[in-house]
């Protein structure tokens, strides 16, 4: 059974100096550990993930600020990656519409190899810088957009090709890598480095590198959506009411924030065309759906600002 594409005769530059490719001294005898010892070792190593996020707090905050500003002006956010890094970008992108009721094109994941690569590894495609650039052109990226390149080892040609093309088009660019900038340099607006050290299985960046990337993307996309007014307090008031679970969540949010009973909240939700944010605007602003939506539109969807404006 094949686990990857057939090998090709290609030049292979030595990447052994990269932090993500080095040998972890804590796991030299991994194949001799008991299952419990193995779990304990993973747990010990994963502490480095949280530490790396903490050390990257300032560039993560800068990325949130830059991206939120771009999206307010009609821009889009693109995640670009290959392999695990690219799949994590796609995962974060597709979770934005149900969580924050964003249009599908607002946050997009670009994966080397496209949709088929989500289910079957296409590792050879990451070496094609021109295809990364082509993906940016295909989506008509402009100077209003933000492009985030994700590559654990920092060297993926597909990602570098995409970042270069995005910069040529005037887009803002972000970069996430798990190696220090001294090992792989790049010109971007915000450079986010998340060095978590060598992997327990040497070079298997779906482990700590994948985990820290997922955390960083969680922080970035959620932070941006908070800045855009998609959250009130800690409630997802732009939740898309598309199934029973989300309808229940919407009703509980309304109950908790308004002290109305569930039946009254259902009536309010119906009157707002299943929009929790508009329902709250109508209730607290004592206004019709049309008036409430008008104030929300004036305030770019920010409920707090709309409520202040209507008083």
Active site residues: 95, 126
The 10 Å CB-count burial string (b at 16+, else e) for 256-266 is ebeebeeeebb
Q: How does DSSP assign 129-158, residue by residue?
A: HHHHHHHHHHTT--TT-EEEEE-TTS--HH
Contact assessment for residue 307 and residue 281, using Cβ atoms and an 8 Å cutoff: yes
Helix or strand holding residue 191 (H, E): strand 190-193
Strands 77-81, 146-150: parallel, antiparallel or unpaired by DSSP?
parallel
285 Cβ contact list (under 8 Å, min separation 6): 291, 292, 295, 306, 307, 310, 311
- For residue 202, give both structure tokens: 């040497």
Question: What three-state secondary structure class fits 235?
Answer: strand
Q: Are 111 and 90 a contacting pair, CB within 8 Å?
A: yes
Round to whole Å and give the CA distance between 136 and 148. Answer: 11
What is residue 174's three-state secondary structure? strand
Instruction: Note every long-range contact of 26-31, with CB atoms under 8 Å and residues 24 or more positions apart, other chains counting.
Output: 26/200, 27/200, 27/201, 30/200, 30/201
């Amino acid at each position: 059974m094949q686990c990857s594409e057939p090998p090709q005769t290609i030049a292979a530059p030595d990447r052994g100096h990269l932090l993500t490719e080095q040998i972890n001294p804590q796991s030299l005898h991994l194949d001799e550990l008991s299952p419990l010892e193995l779990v304990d070792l993973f747990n010990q190593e994963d502490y480095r993930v949280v530490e790396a996020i903490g050390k990257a707090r300032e560039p993560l905050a800068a990325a949130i600020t830059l991206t939120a500003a771009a999206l307010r002006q009609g821009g889009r956010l693109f995640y670009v990656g290959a392999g695990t890094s690219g799949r994590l970008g796609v995962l974060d992108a597709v979770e934005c519409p149900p969580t924050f009721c964003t249009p599908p094109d607002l946050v997009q994941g670009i994966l080397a190899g496209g949709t088929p690569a989500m289910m079957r590894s296409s590792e050879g495609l990451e070496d094609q810088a021109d295809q990364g650039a082509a993906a940016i052109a295909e989506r008509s990226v402009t100077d209003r957009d933000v492009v985030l390149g994700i590559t654990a080892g920092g060297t993926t040609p597909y990602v570098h090709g995409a970042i270069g093309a995005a910069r040529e088009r005037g887009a803002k660019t972000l970069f996430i890598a798990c190696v220090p900038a001294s090992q792989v340099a790049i010109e971007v607006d915000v450079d986010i480095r998340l060095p978590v050290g060598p992997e327990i299985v040497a070079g298997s960046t779906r482990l700590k590198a994948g985990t820290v990337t997922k955390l960083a993307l969680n922080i970035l996309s959620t932070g941006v959506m908070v800045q855009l007014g998609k959250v009130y307090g800690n409630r997802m008031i732009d939740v898309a009411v598309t199934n029973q679970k989300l309808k229940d969540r919407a009703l509980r949010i309304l109950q908790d924030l308004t002290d109305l009973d569930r039946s009254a909240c259902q009536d309010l939700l119906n009157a707002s065309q299943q929009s929790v944010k508009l329902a709250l605007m109508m209730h607290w602003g004592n206004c019709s759906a049309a008036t409430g939506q008008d104030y929300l539109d004036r305030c770019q969807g920010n409920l707090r600002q709309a409520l202040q404006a209507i008083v």
